[in-house]
Amino acid sequence: MKINPKIGIDKLIFGMKQTDVTSAYGKPDRNYKDEDNNVIFAYNKLKMRLTFYVEEDLKLGYIVASSPELLLFGNKIINKKISDVKKDLTSKSITKFTQEEFDTFENYFNEENWMIFQTEFDEVVKFEIGAIINQKDEFDWKFGKK
């Protein structure tokens, strides 16, 4: 499953509606609302959790994934050492990361591409990607754009 920075993952494109996603991947294994009333789809087989923002007309705006099949610029990232992932990203000029620590977990956040690499014991265990916010402080929805 190919990660497309600023766009989404695989067939998932930021700005899709729930019907677009179910057309591509079928019914989710879980469908619930979070504390902000956003709609969450969870797909067990894909190891992905999708967030549709209620304040944005329920458009897909955030993806959390942990599938070992995730590819970023042709490289697997899950279960890979964060130092190797960061080294691979350097060739794509992705070098700025904000680092946060929580117990045994560390997050490496790249704001330019709105990507988070969550690590435990120095290996990437989870990947998060969100829709980009443009200069006008609005979401830059990619779905439906040519």
Express each pLDDT in 85-105 by its tens digit: 999 999 999 999 999 999 999
**Position 146 pLDDT exceeds 70:** no
pTM of the entire predicted model = 0.96
10 Å Cβ neighbour count for 43? 19
Dist CA 6 CA 14 (whole Å): 8
pLDDT band at 4 (very low <50, low <70, confident <90, very high): very high
**Whether the Cβ atoms of residue 81 and residue 41 lie closer than 8 Å to each other:** no
pLDDT of residue 144: 83
- pLDDT tens across 106-136, in order? 999 999 999 999 999 999 999 999 999 988 9
CA distance 134 to 111: 12
- Going along 34-143, which residue ranges are E strands? 39-43, 48-53, 59-65, 71-72, 75-76, 98-102, 105-110, 115-120, 123-130
